[in-house]
Amino acid sequence: MIKRTCLLVASTTLLSIAAHAADSVNIANWSGYVADDTLTEFTRRSGIQTTYDLIDSNETTEAKLMTGGSGYDLVSPSNHFLPRLIKAGAIQELDRSKLPNWNNLDPKLMKLLETSDPGNRYAIPYLWVTVGIGYNEDKIKAIFGNTDVTQSWQLLFKPENIRKLSQCGVAFLDNPTQIVPITLKTLGLDPHSEAPADFKKAEAALLEIRPSISYFHQSKYVSDLANGNICVAIGFSGDVLQAMTSARQANNGVHLGYSIPREGSTVAVDMVAIPKAAPHLDAAYAYLNYLLDPKVMASISNAVKYPNGNAASLPYIDQALRDNPAAYPPQAVLDSLFTIQTLSPSAMRASTRLWTRVTSGK
């Protein structure tokens, strides 16, 4: 009964706002981050046309917003980028009176996000993701006898282990924002540390295993895992789930697993925020309300294989996805996760230099 009421409020509010909104809304979002009918269904319900631009990095979004004339009504920065945008005055505080289904959002996730957005004042969570180990079950068993080794980052950070894996291919996510804190955590250091001495330890650990890493890339590992071209990758959970789906559909004999190592890992949340100079404010709120509809967010999660921040959507998530610990980890694993925090300018420069040396192997 509660769910029915929430959906009715969302639908009524959406149409009410749409009646007074401009007839278009300009959205910037990551590639492959909506279901096939997300935008067309929004237009059907509201009468508002959508312009949907793809972004390739948080930095691109930031650069466009800083000009003050991006033309976007909605953007999707990752949670660790929010403090920069808030401090710069690039996004506006949300008016919760225009978001009646706010209570559909997951309170535990909202609490976690307060490190980036105190009071949850500027953005709503969209999809979230962990970083872990995607692996070929048969190849790992052939090398180590079982897959127990995938439950620790030592599978990759212990030189003798990764040397064995190099024979079948190892990929690392090309993302220092994720990999550097994970390295620090694996070394028993504070993953949020900005201490130069800690950065040096992380760099030394990465350079020691660098000869055994086949490549660094943001997405190539997805198809390579699915096709059996590599046996292990550090990657995003949703990407590995997509690789699992591809391998299963191809019926190619590749069996993939995903683990969040016991030492802990990162959780990243892509948010939705309204730029300060949004030209179609009512339309922006209409789309935000649409995203707060549990069935809408469930449809998006079912399509892209990432969990979302709308707790009321859980009953509508495909059971196979809902029951998959790679997508929805058990509480004990959730408790081991940590968010990425915004680095100071000097630490960001140090991290970038570190990563350049590691990826180049020099």
Burial of 305: CB neighbours in 10 Å, binned 0-12, 13-18, 19+: buried
Pair (176, 289) in one structural domain = no
Is a pLDDT exceeding 80 seen at residue 122? yes
pLDDT of 14 > 60? The answer is no
- Average pLDDT of the chain to the nearest whole number: 91
315 domain-assigned:
yes
Indicate whether 211 pLDDT > 80: yes
pLDDT digit string, tens, across residues 219-262: 999 999 999 999 999 999 989 998 999 999 999 999 999 999 99
Strand, coil or helix: what is 292? coil
> Using CA atoms, how far apart are residues 109 and 350, in angstroms rounded to an integer?
30
Q: How confident is the model at residue 23 (pLDDT cuts 50, 70, 90)?
A: confident
CA 355/CA 179 separation, integer angstroms: 9
Give the pLDDT band (50/70/90) at residue 341: confident
Question: Residue 248's domain is classified under what CATH number?
Answer: 3.40.190.10
pLDDT single digits (tens) 130-147: 999 999 999 999 999 999
> Do 226 and 343 fall within a single domain?
yes
User: Is there a single domain that holds both residue 320 and residue 174?
Assistant: no
pLDDT tens, residue by residue, 278-304: 999 999 999 999 999 999 999 999 998
Report how far apart the first and last C-alpha atoms of the chain are (Å, whole number).
Answer: 61
pLDDT at 10: 37
Residue 293 in any domain: the answer is: yes
Q: 224, 169 in Cβ contact below 8 A? A: yes
Residue-level pLDDT at 68: 74
Same domain? For 215 and 341 the reply is yes
* Cβ count within 10 A of residue 2: 8
Who wins on pLDDT, 329 or 212? Answer: 212
Do 222 and 347 belong together in one domain? yes
d(CA 215, CA 320): 31
* 116 assigned to some structural domain: yes
Residue identified by tokens 């935008």 is: 39
Q: Convert the pLDDT of each residue in 178-191 to its tens digit.
A: 999 999 999 999 99
Model pTM score: 0.80
**Are 219 and 232 members of one domain?**
yes
Domain that holds residue 241: 130-266+337-360
Higher-confidence position of 67 and 269:
269
Residue 344 lies in a domain: yes
- Residue 332 is assigned to a structural domain of this protein: no
Distance CA 214, CA 232 (A): 10
Examine the pLDDT at 171 and tell me if it is beyond 50.
Answer: yes
Residue 19 has a pLDDT of 42
Asked if residue 158 belongs to a domain, the reply is yes
Q: Is residue 234 domain-shared with residue 349, that is, in the same domain?
A: yes
Amino acid at 225: L
Residues 199 and 341 in one domain: yes
Q: Are residues 32 and 74 in the same domain?
A: yes
Asked, for residue 61, whether it belongs to a domain, the answer is: yes
Strands 232-236 and 338-339: unpaired
pLDDT at residue number 234: 98
- Residues 57 and 157 reside in one and the same domain: no
Provide the pLDDT for residue 1: 29
* CA neighbor of 276 nearest in space, from 124, 88, 48: 88
What's the chain's Rg over C-alpha atoms? 21
Q: What is the pLDDT of residue 102?
A: 94
Round to whole Å and give the CA distance between 307 and 317.
9
| Banded pLDDT at 22 (limits 50, 70, 90) | low
Output the DSSP codes for 41-103: HHHHHH--EEEEEEE--HHHHHHHHHTS----SBB--BGGGHHHHHHTT-B----GGG-TTGG
Give me the pLDDT at residue 12, please.
37
Same domain, yes or no: 247 and 294: no
Residues facing residue 258 across a β-bridge? 134
Judgement on whether residues 17 and 103 belong to the same structural domain of the protein = yes
| Total count of domains within the chain | 2
Q: Report pLDDT digits (tens) over 91-118.
A: 999 999 999 999 999 998 999 899 899 9
Q: Which residues, 6 or more positions from 315, have their beta carbon under 8 angstroms from its beta carbon?
A: 3, 294, 298
